[in-house]
Structure 1
Amino acid sequence: MSEEKFIFTAGAKKKLIIMLVVGVVLTVLGIVMANSGGHGHEEVAAAAGHGADATHGGGHGGGAGWLKRLYTSLWINNVYFVGLALVGVLFVALQYVTQAGWSAPIKRVPEAFGYWLPIGGVLMIVTFLVANHDLFHWTHEYLYDKASPEYDSILDNKKAYLNFGFFLGRTVVYFVVWTLLFFLIRKYSLLEDKVGGTEPWYKIRKYSVIFVVFFGVTSSTSAWDWVMSVDPHWFSTLFGWYVFSSYFVAGLAGITFLVLKLKDYGYLKVVKADHIHDMGKFVFGFSVFWTYLWFSQFLLYYYSNIPEETIYYVDRLVNDHYSPYFLSLVFINFVIPFFVLMTRDSKRQGAILKIACIVILIGHWLDFFMMITPGIMKNEGSIGFMEVGVTLVYLSAFLFVALTQLSKAGLVAHKHPMMKEAMHHHI
């Protein structure tokens, strides 16, 4: 098999630069509109919304301004795109841990996603250092002072875990270990193209096992840190799994979409309809899995009906700023993928699968928006030019990194020991 190379053309780079510029323009426009009152901050919140504020963590410092809204958008996209990168590495690792051969022709695509990890780590740490008081209510020292009228006994009981130094330390450890294991996997993956044989494969499997085990723990702890602690009084025993499911289905949709686009441009000739079908089944199956966890988490709080627990959903269902988004989650992330991808033929049709992947990627960005924004912005969160603009900036940067790395190595791991099996894959 001859080596296939991806060429990151000047035209493709130009499109990403245009996307980046559009994102910056929209972000600036959103900031200007927020400062001029065009965002609707002058609206009076519903009484139920105010009640939620009073009982659920409280505000910390008046109305939310454009800067706080910008920090929130940055945090959402930090979490979301780091998740896509992690799923890229996890997907590759799982293929080696399970000794799967069918995915050998496409493994370079999820590998390329992993290069966002060190960049995403730096962005996340810098954002936390700059904006921690705006993003996380528990970072305010007066909450732990028993002499202060703002003293919070619930948070005081959690301070052994929720404190600035330990939070930052955990985040640094996550990214250092994730990135180190990714680069070790990538190193031997590229070596495999040079020397062939099974020795690199066994090395990759060893590091993949370590990554899967470490990720199995840190996927939950990072979800508690980066997302659940935005609402520091509330907790869910399902939350780590829920965040993982949202990450995983979005990551699978991103991998599938990029594989299909590469095929549209004449690349990945060894990838057949059967490989695409398998990716479609993963996207379909984990959309159902996400829905199962979404409903399970909601049902637990619905039938227990304990006020300090249900307030999480009250903030999202009663508040007019969020209820349309919240109610649309199941439709976008379950109903559309379920019915569109239910049949065998739909999973083998590139055009249909690409549309489903785009819907899922947008839908799970919205899922993270709904997990994070109400806890930070209270009654003043919405999706406008600023949110769209920041997302486009991140998306263009993420794609630029991934496509650059795709162009630096063979697009197909032609000396993978299971490539022959992959080429005869049939379902």
Structure 2
Amino acid sequence: MTLREQFVIPKKYNTLSLAFMAVGVLSIIILFITHGTSSDEHVAARFWASILQNSVYFLLVTNAAMFFICATTLAWGGWQMSFRRVSEAISTCVPVIGVIALAILLALIFGSNHVIYHWASPDAVHDPAIEHKSGFLNKGFFAVWTVITIAGWWLLGKKMRQLSRSIDDRPLTIAEGKKYIWNNTVWAAVYTVFFALTVLSSIPWLWLMSIDAHWYSTMYSWYTFASVFVAAIALITLFVVYLKNNGYLELTTKEHLHDLGKFIFAFSIFWTYLWFAQFMLIWYANIPEETIYFKPRLQGPYRAIFWLNLIINFLAPLLLLMKRAPKRNYGTITMMSVLILFGHWLDFYQMVMPTAVMNPETKQTYVPNMLADLGIALGFVGLIMFVTVRSLAKHPLVAKNHPFLKESIVHHT
């Protein structure tokens, strides 16, 4: 069998990705004109909240694609080798979206609008609860750790991609293969440790949880990780199905698709476990400083989004992906992947908006018109589509000389 190793970008695909990006840019411009230019900081915060939520969500999702590679590398798994280049290509979006997110985050803490990050305001020094966290919640630490984090994700991800591509042009001897696997394992471990120090701990606290600076949850980072990881698997699945439908990835079969479906199912359940554990403990304790976070989400204007979030991210995958057949069906798994990506975008939406968006007259939170937010999200989707396929087109689609490729070829689940 002759493999189609080189991906050629279809003209329609390129046009669609550019159209999505145009919608995103237009949405940002409209939202900036209607809200971002306002002299009222609460109105202007509506603009900043939208671009913050979208940039952070899509940055974490594309970065989680590299975590998928590193986690399976540490496990010495070979089943994913036939489509590994898809995950690698998605991770090339990290430096691009990372620069966008970095600019937004730094503008928020060093700018004049402190509605979203209230702790960055000069007035926050008079707040005992925030003063108690000042060793962690301060502009210097936030800025330095944010820069180190995004740079680390980019550089370590680049190293993993370089290792993968370094053997494209030559087969390895047995000795070289063992050394190669060892090097891969070491760098995957370095990336995983750095991932644990950022995504699994500090970064969700800084970028998201500090929006509600008086509130905290010890499960928050794990909850955020579960959300973006299952979304990353869904994104990988969408690209795999697209390439399969266009005659590429001949070595990837329904067996691999089945396993991707199992990942989506399993981590949807894991996300739900964390969702329930965080909510149930706070509800049961009924301590005012903890329940204040859920007040607008469960009993306020965001209650519909709160429950829709659970329906899409738990009930839908539970009912649709429990059986074997749907996980092997291209149509079903594609629909479920799109739903998962939207569902966890909605999860991030209700993480950011209730505290960031406030009516300047009533001083109460409200659910804004989501068309602009969805338009910006579409722009980021177009950007991911644009960057990912250019990486796919530059390098062979299959890591044909990888020692574990045979394991992927004979994979059966």
TM-score normalised by L of structure 2? 0.92
Q: Residue 371 of structure 1: which of 351, 366, 371 is its match?
A: 351
Task: Show CA shifts across 1:140-161 (max 9, x none).
Answer: 01221xxxxxx20111111111
CA distance in 1, matches of 2:391, 2:285: 49
**Partners in 1 of 2:135 and 2:66 — Cα distance?**
31
1:147 is matched with none
Identity value in percent: 34
Q: C-alpha separation between the residues in 1 aligned to 2:25 and 2:151?
A: 30
Q: Which residue of 1 aligns with 2:381?
A: 395
The correspondence for 1:317, drawn from 269, 286, 298, is: 298
Secondary structure of the residue that 2:88 maps to in structure 1? Answer: helix
Q: CA deviation at 1:28?
A: 4.2
Aligned residue among 293, 296, 299 for 2:274? 293
Alignment-derived partner of residue 205 in structure 2: 224
- Give 1:19's aligned residue: 20
Match status 1:193 vs 2:168: yes
Give the Cα–Cα distance (whole angstroms) in 2 for the partners of residues 310 and 395 of structure 1.
34
Alignment equivalent of 2:53, drawn from 76, 91, 94: 76
8 A Cα contact 1:256 1:276, kept in partner:
yes
Cα distance in 1 for partners of 2:311, 2:195 equals 29
Which amino acid in 2 is paired with 1:252? I
Query: Which residue of structure 1 aligns with residue 252 of structure 2?
Result: 271
The one-letter code matched in structure 2 to 1:280 is G
- How far the C-alpha of 1:62 sits from its partner, in A, is 5.8
Residue 411 of structure 1: SS of its match in structure 2?
coil
Report the equivalent of 1:407.
393
Native 8 Å contact 2:282 2:290 kept in 1: yes
Cα deviation, 1:140-196, whole Å, max 9, x if unaligned, reads: 01221xxxxxx2011111111100011111111111222111111111100121233
Contact preservation (8 Å) 1:78, 1:123: yes
Contact 1:93 1:211 in 2 (8 A): yes
Q: 1:383 to 1:195 in 2, by over 3 A?
A: farther
Unaligned runs of 5+ in 2: 359-364
Describe the SS at the equivalent of 1:312. coil
**For 1:282 and 1:217, how far apart are their aligned partners in 2?**
23
What is aligned with 1:57? Answer: none
Q: CA 1:405–1:134 in structure 2 vs 1: closer, same or farther (change >3 Å)?
A: farther
- Map 1:139-154 to 2 at 5 A: 139-144=120-125, 151-154=126-129
Question: Matched residues in 2 for 1:195 and 1:134: separation?
Answer: 56
Secondary structure of the structure 1 residue equivalent to 2:168? helix
> What's the Cα RMSD here?
1.9
Aligned length: 396
Q: Note if 1:175 corresponds to 2:156.
A: no
Structure 2: how far apart are the matches of 1:181 and 1:34? 38
SS at match of 1:194: coil
> Against the structure 1 CA distance between its residues 291 and 341, is the aligned structure 2 distance closer, same or farther, given a 3 Å change threshold?
same
Q: Report the alpha carbon displacement of residue 34 of structure 1 after superposing the two structures with TM.
A: 5.9
Deviations 1:83-114 (A, max 9, x none): 11211110111121000011100101111111
Q: What is the CA–CA distance in structure 2 between the aligned matches of 1:259 and 1:272, rounded to whole Å?
A: 10
Note the alpha carbon deviations across 1:340-362, whole angstroms, 9 max, x for none. Answer: 11100011101000001011000
| 1:353 paired residue among 333, 336, 359 | 333
- The answer to whether the 8 Å contact 1:69/1:381 transfers is no
Maintained 8 Å contact 1:287/1:333: yes
CA distance in 2, matches of 1:233, 1:346: 44
* AA of the residue aligned to 1:80: Y
Is the CA contact (8 Å cut-off) linking 1:28 and 1:386 kept in structure 2?
no
Q: 1:212 to 1:327 in 2, by over 3 A?
A: same
Aligned to 1:205: 185
Cα separation, 1, equivalents of 2:202 and 2:324 = 37
User: Which amino acid is the alignment partner of residue 374 of structure 1?
Assistant: P
Moved more, 157-166 or 16-25: 16-25
> How far 1:222 moved relative to its partner?
0.5
C-alpha displacement at 1:130, in angstroms? 1.9
Q: Is the 8 A contact 2:296 2:354 kept in 1?
A: yes
CA–CA separation in structure 1 for the residues paired with 2:269 and 2:369:
26
Q: Write the distance in 1 (CA, Å) between the matches of 2:40 and 2:291.
A: 25
**Structure 1 32/142 Cα, relative in aligned 2: closer, same or farther at 3 Å?**
closer
2:9 equivalent in structure 1: 8
Q: Which moved more, 1:187-196 or 1:16-25?
A: 16-25
Q: How far apart, in 1, do the equivalents of 2:294 and 2:40 lie?
A: 23
Alignment check: 8 A CA contact 1:5 1:409 kept: yes
Code of the aligned partner of 2:386:
F
Contact 1:72 1:373 in 2 (8 A): yes
Give the drift of 1:315: 2.0
Offset, 1:384: 2.1
Q: Which structure 1 residue ranges, 5 or more long, are not aligned?
A: 38-60, 145-150
| 1:103 alignment counterpart | 80
SS of equivalent to 1:193: coil
TM-score by length of 1: 0.89
Aligned 8 A contact 1:3 1:414 in 2: no
